[in-house]
Amino acid sequence: MKIYNTITREKEEFVPLNSPHVLYYNCGPTVYDYFHIGNARNFVVADTIRRYLEYRGFKVRFIQNLTDIDDKIIKKAKEEGITAKEVAEKYTAVYFEQTGKLGIRTADMHPKATENIPQMHALIKTLIEKGHAYVVDGDVYFSVRSFPSYGSLSGKNIEDLQEGARVDVDERKKDPLDFALWKAAKPGEPAWESPWGPGRPGWHIECSAMSIAHLGESIDIHSGATDLIFPHHENERAQSEAATGKPFVKYWLHNGFLNINNQKMSKSLGNFFTINQVLERYDPLSVKFFLLSAHYRHPLDYTEENMATAQSASRRILNALETVDKLIKINAVQENSTGLSAPEFAREKWVNFRRVFEDAMDDDFNTAKALSVLHDIVSEIHETRKAVSNAPQDAALLDALKLYRNLLLELLGILGLDPTLASGKVDFNDKIIGELMQILIDIRKLARAKKDFIIADEIRNRLNNISITLEDHPQGTIWKHKK
């Protein structure tokens, strides 16, 4: 399996520090607002990578932090006249509610910055003792000059950065690039006691402290979006390695942006759609199809057309699944059939689909290509379906259908594309509804047999009005709920 590593700028063979264990940290949200679809891309990508690593047999310990204290939270609290803590609690709940809708699994742990203050103090203390940090008026700064390889993650050097010259001019800092590990409290701001006076943590120190505390001094994967490479991850790396003397992260992964009109979606530009706005228009499955339709490192444009495309594409796969399910039922295939009696050619194709899928995902998580395999399976399902029509008695062909259906479901699951994410509110697997539908279908069948198409069409039209579609197949009539 190959993974693109930001720090080496090339795809590398993935070899965990202590295989099969994988320690994985994803930079989580700052909980001050609804997250936008661009944030969602990061969460979905990390979740997908986690799932695939597990599928590949790795024992993944996956941690994603919650930044529950920072400038934006304090600002929001002032605007709304509530405490910073209340803001954080509100949007933490929103985070779990919305990611739940998207079928994003919760991490093994979601550490909060405010619950890891002692760990940050310890880290800062070590940095001061080792001469990598210094105290000024209750602030503590990290000295970038004290860490020789500063800049190697982002491919920058200190001199170039200073020529860029847009860094805050603060006379108290030894170097303009030095960044705050601990910020002295200003009046009215939330504050925690510390050896340097009351204050709150700098942004970068949180992730270092929580990663070290909950995963260890050296981990396998640390991920985030590309705008975190500098300064966030650069600073994390510097302070962590300066403190522990050990490599902080083996593989740095960064996902590309979600764009609007070819421009980065961002809160500051105001060109963003929050996740709840998007979910009002599109079902979670379509949203995930869209987010996985391009390689994770490439930019992806959020447009109505692209969303509609993703929706149609996901429908194609759902339709095939539903059709094959109903056909299997009509033909009374053994529920516990293993697919082993499927014809040789079908089993060969099955193996091949899986191989191509794995090759795609093994190549730096190429979900766009992996999705094309799902479509290929759908095509194969339809072809097999046709063969079943021509030879309804051939149980082996039905078994092949089942084989493909199961594979499709499994691969969808690995990508986090559970078909139930697309469903509406009504539980259409409800037994009574199924029986009622069967009654209607049987009555319509009688009408059609008598060529009474007025009644037959009335039934179909009325059902269509409540979003239920009837399809007459050679093997019988099936019904579907359309969204």
Partner RNA sequence: GGCGACGUAGCCAAGUGGUAAGGCGGAGGUCUGCAAAACCUCUAUGCAGCGGUUCAAAUCCGCUCGUCGCCUCCA
Residues 426-465 that bind RNA (CB under 7 A): 448, 453, 456-457, 460
Query: Which residues contact residue 446 at a Cβ distance below 8 angstroms, ignoring those fewer than 6 apart?
Result: none
CB nearer to RNA: pick between 271 and 406: 271
**Under the criterion CB under 7 A, does residue 161 sit at the interface with RNA?**
yes
Q: In this chain, which of 90, 125, 156, 354 binds RNA, going by CB under 7 A?
A: 156
Contact status: 9 vs RNA (CB under 7 A): yes
The binding track of 133-152 with respect to RNA, each residue x by CB under 7 A or -, is --------------------
Q: Which is nearer to RNA, 227 or 341 (CB)?
A: 227
- Quote the tokens at residue 49: 């990578």
For residues 237-296, which are near RNA according to CB under 7 A? 255-259, 262-268, 293-295
Residue with Cβ nearer RNA (301 or 325): 301
Q: Which of residues 213-232 bind RNA (CB under 7 A)?
A: 224-232
- Residue number with CB closer to RNA (112 or 264): 264
In the shown chain, the binding pattern of residues 174 to 203 toward RNA, with x for contact by CB under 7 A and - for none, equals ---x-x-----------------------x
CB of 404 to RNA, least distance (A): 12
**Residues 373-412 within binding reach of RNA (CB under 7 A):** 375-376, 378-379, 382-383, 385-386
Residues 299-328 that bind RNA (CB under 7 A): 299-301, 305-306, 308-309, 312-313, 316, 319-320, 323
Tell me the site size for RNA, rule CB under 7 A: 88
Considering only CA atoms, which of 219, 279, 229 is closest in space to residue 257? 229
Stretch that binds RNA, among 156-164, 329-337, 397-405, 416-424 (CB under 7 A): 156-164
Q: Which stretch binds RNA (CB under 7 A): 211-219, 368-376, 392-400, 430-438?
A: 368-376
Which of 321, 403 has the CB closer to RNA? Answer: 321
Residue 17 or 446: which CB sits closer to RNA? 446
Nearest to RNA of 432, 466 (CB atom): 466
Q: Kind of pairing, strands 21-26 and 219-225?
A: parallel
Cβ at position 191, least distance to RNA in Å: 19
Site for RNA in 20-39 (CB under 7 A): 27, 29-30, 36, 38-39
> Which x/- pattern, by CB under 7 A, does the window 324-363 give for RNA?
------------------------------------x--x
For position 12 contacting RNA by CB under 7 A, the verdict is no
The tally of CA atoms less than 13 A away on the side-chain side of residue 284 is 21
Site for RNA in 105-124 (CB under 7 A): none
Our CB check for RNA shows the closer of 14 and 257 to be: 257
Identify which of residues 42 and 119 has a Cβ nearer to RNA in the complex. 42
Q: Report, in Å, the least distance between residue 340 CB and RNA.
A: 26
Kindly tell me which of 259 and 406 has the beta carbon lying closer to RNA: 259
Q: Which CB, 347 or 473, lies closer to RNA? A: 473
Task: Write the CA distances from 31 to 39, 67, 128, 136, 192, integer angstroms.
Answer: 12, 6, 30, 29, 19
